[in-house]
Amino acid sequence: MINVEIVRNYNKWCEHKQINKSLIKKITQNVLLRFDNFSKIKQFELSILLTNTAEILTLNKQFRNLEKATNVLSFPSNELNWQDLYSKLEFLGDSDYMHLGDIAFCYEVIYNESCEQQKTFENHFIHLLIHSILHLIGFDHQNDTEANIMENLEIEILSYFGISSPY
């Protein structure tokens, strides 16, 4: 079971009714089911903040020491490594509960990017959600190898939802 808490701090998000707990749960489940190591966990929790430029600027400055707005920020609750996800190691311990982390999305940046890239807002949001969940479970793109692995997973998951590759 996946529990999702959504906080909408910006009214424009209300225009996108498709972006809701059901969608976020479905996508999160699709990502997690790809890794056997998550199968013993019975309950996951994920917190989502749907906000605006002002708040994402504050978060970026506070947590990343950056003075710019970004489309999304991911805050993992666990220090996972993507390579462990492919092994049969019991790296998650004995717990049947896991708080995945927090994700903050910036409406204006996502809206502008979706217009520039000629994508629907919802499809771009779904891509960023998948990308962020992968960050929460230990994936990163600090080098070309890691970026390729992460991008290929994103493409595979997006394809499942009928969304073409953003790359």
- The overall average pLDDT reported for the chain is 93
Q: How many domains does the chain have?
A: 1
- Domain presence at residue 118: yes
Domain that includes residue 80, residue range: 2-160
Whole-prediction pTM: 0.93
Is 30 part of any domain? yes
Does residue 126 form part of some domain? Answer: yes
Asked whether residue 10 is domain-assigned, the answer is yes
The reply, when asked if residue 135 is annotated as ligand binding, is yes
pLDDT digits (tens, 9 = 90+) for 38-54: 888 899 999 999 999 99
DSSP 63-76: HH---S--SEEEEE
- The length of the chain is 167
Q: Which residues, 6 or more positions from 118, have their beta carbon under 8 angstroms from its beta carbon?
A: none
> Binding residue per annotation — 99?
no
CATH number of the domain residue 33 falls in: 3.40.390.30
Domain contains 29? yes
* pLDDT score of 91: 55
Q: What is the pLDDT of residues 104-155, one digit of tens each?
A: 999 999 999 999 999 999 999 999 999 999 999 999 998 999 999 999 999 9
Has residue 86 been placed in a domain?
yes
**131 is an annotated ligand-binding site residue:** yes
Flag whether 166 is in a domain: no
